[in-house]
Amino acid sequence: MKQKLVAALLAVAMVATLAACGGKSAETEAPAADTPAAETEAETPEADAPAADAEAGETKDLSELKLAFIVGTENDAFYQSVEAGIVAKCEELGIPNPTLADQQLDGSICTDLINNYVAAEYDAIALSANDPAGTIPAMQAANTEGVKMFTFDCTVDDQYLDQYLAFVGSNNYAGGVTAGEYIAEHAPEGSTVGCITYASAQSTQDRQAGFEETIQAAIDGGKDLTLIESQDADNDQSKAADIMQNLITQYGEDLSYIFVVGDPTGYGALASIQSAGASTKIVGFDAGETACQYIADPEVGKIWEAEVAQDPEGIGAGIVEKMAEYFTTGAIAGDQKSLIECKLVTADNVADYLK
């Protein structure tokens, strides 16, 4: 594995970046390293609710399909990998020339794209619903026109289950549990732990909830920890740095671990920890290339200890499979929501996640 100088890594990381499934800034690095194939599990009970057009729909030869895929932003390693998964699976299944589009994390742009694809008579549209409320009217209009809707990575609220046929994304709550279990195991007795979150996206809300509930369960079970209130950095690296600095000032050496719900938040937190010479450790979420390099680095890895890894290429391939299933059989079998499990990355296995 290549080891990079700490200074070089920090220079890359301080470029504005984005946590998957929502945010204002974007990661400009190369796509994240391939992650091990993840298993798809059954969703929670609400996933059994009927999807739009639950009756058998019109089938179509896959070689004749006209499909569009709208990602959160193409200026992000996570979504670049999602697109790679989409393209590879389309080639494998014989689906020609999928249209890939960038909504630039803007609901109005996403709405315009959906409307354009409906007007161009696409068979189906799949989107990452980073602005679910803003794009619902366009999805409803598309359904009225008979264009089949699918979601991936970020989906709409459960009250709109009838507006799309299938969703494929990470099991974000379980990923938060994984982070919480790691911190509960490694945090010293009597120490303080916390979370810097991004409160506007459902995916990061789920990660936060999984973490907080796991830590609280550990406390209830006898672990001597203090869980402080999570703070929202709005997926902004500079805000995350300010929050981390304030936490260090307030809690000092008692703050043993901070969980960050996306790598961009972690980059800001890392800068403040290093600047202050603090001993707080980071557990991140996304496992982008830079974060994995941090874990592998002999010095930075003493701070950035672990990551919860998503499988973006698996998400891209998975949504294509769902669309192919619908147009082959006229229906989606099983649960409407397919969740891909996340994996824990530490120094012991980080080589598997690096190029």
Query: How far apart, in whole angstroms, are the C-alpha atoms of residue 112 and residue 138?
Result: 8
- Average model confidence (pLDDT) across the chain: 87
The reported pLDDT for the residue numbered 2 is 37
pLDDT at 32 over 90: no
- Percent residues over pLDDT 70 in the chain: 84
Residue 88's CB is within 10 A of a number of other CB atoms, namely: 14
The reported pLDDT for the residue numbered 98 is 98
The reported pLDDT for the residue numbered 42 is 38
Residues 238-276 have pLDDT tens digits of 999 999 999 999 999 999 999 999 988 999 999 999 999
Query: How far apart, in whole angstroms, are the C-alpha atoms of residue 306 and residue 218?
Result: 19
pLDDT at 9 over 70: no
pLDDT at 285 over 90: yes
Per the CB < 8 A criterion, the answer to whether 323 and 98 are in contact is no
Residues 147-184 have pLDDT tens digits of 999 999 999 989 999 999 999 999 999 999 999 999 99
Per the CB < 8 A criterion, the answer to whether 169 and 216 are in contact is no
If one compares 7 and 204, the residue with the highest pLDDT of the two is: 204
Nearest by Cα to 314 from 168, 127, 177, 207: 168
Residue 58: which pLDDT band, with cuts at 50, 70 and 90? confident
Residue 56: which pLDDT band, with cuts at 50, 70 and 90? low
Query: Is residue 305 helix, strand or coil?
Result: strand
Secondary structure (DSSP) of 245-264: HHHHHHHGGGEEEEEESSHH
pTM over 0.95: no
Q: For the ranges 35-44, 179-188, 302-311, which has the lowest average pLDDT?
A: 35-44
Mean pLDDT of 85-89: 98
For residue 257, is it left (φ>0), alpha (ψ between -120 and 50) or beta? beta
Per the CB < 8 A criterion, the answer to whether 215 and 193 are in contact is yes
- Percent residues over pLDDT 90 in the chain: 75
- Structural domains in the chain, CATH included, are 6-34+172-311+345-353 (3.40.50.2300), 40-170+313-340 (3.40.50.2300)
The reported pLDDT for the residue numbered 130 is 86
Residues 91-105 have pLDDT tens digits of 999 999 999 999 998
If one compares 319 and 20, the residue with the highest pLDDT of the two is: 319
Strand order in the sheet with 167-170: 40-41, 337-340, 167-170, 148-152, 124-127, 67-71, 99-102
List all residues 6 or more positions away from 240 whose beta carbon is below 8 Å from its beta carbon.
196, 233, 260, 264, 265, 266, 267, 268, 269
Mean pLDDT of 336-343: 97
